Structure 1
Amino acid sequence: MAIVRSQSNVREGRQTAQRNTAGKNRAVGVRGASRTGNKAGGAAGKKILRWLGVLSVLSIAALGFYGVGHWVLGQLDRPVTSVKINGEFSRVSQKVVAESVYDSMADSFMRLDLKEIQFRLEEKPWIDHVRVARRWPDQLEVTVIEHKPIARWGESDALNHRGEVIRLSNQETDKQLLKGLPQLSGEEGMEQEMMAQYQTLNKMLAEHGMLVKQLACSAAKSWTITLSDGVVVRIGRDDMIAKMGRFLTVYKSQLQTRWAELSSVDLRYYNGVAVQWREPASA
Structure 2
Amino acid sequence: MKRRRLITLSAASAFILMAGGILLADLQARPIRAVRIAGEFQHLARPALQQSISGALSARVFSVDVDAVRDAARRLPWVRDASVRRVWPDSLHVAVVERVAVARWGERGLLEEDGALFIPERQTALNDLVQLRGPDGSQREVLSRYRALRTLMAPAGQPIVVLELSNRGAWTVALENGVRLKLGQSPSEETLHGFARAMTAVSRHGGSAIDTVDLRYINGFAVRWKKEPPAQG
For the criterion TM > 0.5, the same-fold answer is yes
Cα 1:150–1:83 shift into 2, 3 Å: same
**Residues 172-191 of structure 1 deviation map (CA, whole Å, 9 limit, x = unaligned):** xx2x6154443222222223
Q: Which residue is 1:158 aligned to? A: 109
Corresponding residue of 2:196: 251
Q: State how 1:1-283 maps to structure 2 within 5 Å.
A: 77=28, 78-155=30-107, 157-161=108-112, 162-169=115-122, 174=123, 177=125, 179-206=127-154, 209-238=157-186, 240=187, 243-244=188-189, 246-252=191-197, 254-259=198-203, 260-261=206-207, 262-270=210-218, 272-276=219-223, 278-279=225-226, 281=228
1: distance between equivalents of 2:74 and 2:36?
A: 17
CA distance in 2, matches of 1:251, 1:192: 25
Higher relative contact order (CA 8 A, sep 6+): 2
How much has 1:120 moved relative to structure 2? 1.5
Counterpart Cα distance in 1 of 2:44 and 2:50: 11
Distance 1:74-1:150 versus aligned 2 partners, 3 A rule: same
CA RMSD of aligned residues (A): 3.6
List gaps (5 residues or longer) in structure 2: 1-5
- The alignment partner of 1:214 has SS state of strand
Q: Are the counterparts in 1 of residues 77 and 118 from structure 2 also a CA contact under 8 Å?
A: no
* Partner SS, residue 55 of structure 2: helix
TM-score by length of 2: 0.70
**1:211–1:228: 8 Å Cα contact kept in structure 2?**
yes
Q: Is the 8 A contact 1:158 1:168 kept in 2?
A: no
Residue segments in structure 1 that go unaligned for 5+ positions in a row: 1-55
> Cα gap change, 1:250/1:205 in structure 2, threshold over 3 Å: closer, same or farther?
closer
Q: Deviations over 1:38-69 (max 9, x none)?
A: xxxxxxxxxxxxxxxxxx9xx99xx69x8598
Give % identity.
Answer: 25
Q: Structure 1 100/258 Cα, relative in aligned 2: closer, same or farther at 3 Å? A: closer
Distance 1:163 1:236 in 2: 26
TM-fit CA distance, 1:237:
1.4
Q: Quote the Cα distance in structure 2 between the aligned partners of 1:90 and 1:228.
A: 26
For 2:193, the aligned partner's letter is L
Which amino acid is 1:119 matched to?
D
Contact 1:158–1:178 under 8 Å retained in 2: no
Query: How much has 1:74 moved relative to structure 2?
Result: 6.3
Question: Higher Cα Rg: structure 1 or 2?
Answer: 1
* C-alpha distance in structure 2 between counterparts of 1:227 and 1:246, whole Å: 17
- Provide Cα deviations, 1:1-28, integer angstroms capped at 9, x if missing partner: xxxxxxxxxxxxxxxxxxxxxxxxxxxx
| Larger relative strand fraction | 2
Could you tell me which amino acid in structure 2 is paired with residue 256 of structure 1?
T
In 2: Cα distance, 1:206 partner to 1:69 partner? 70
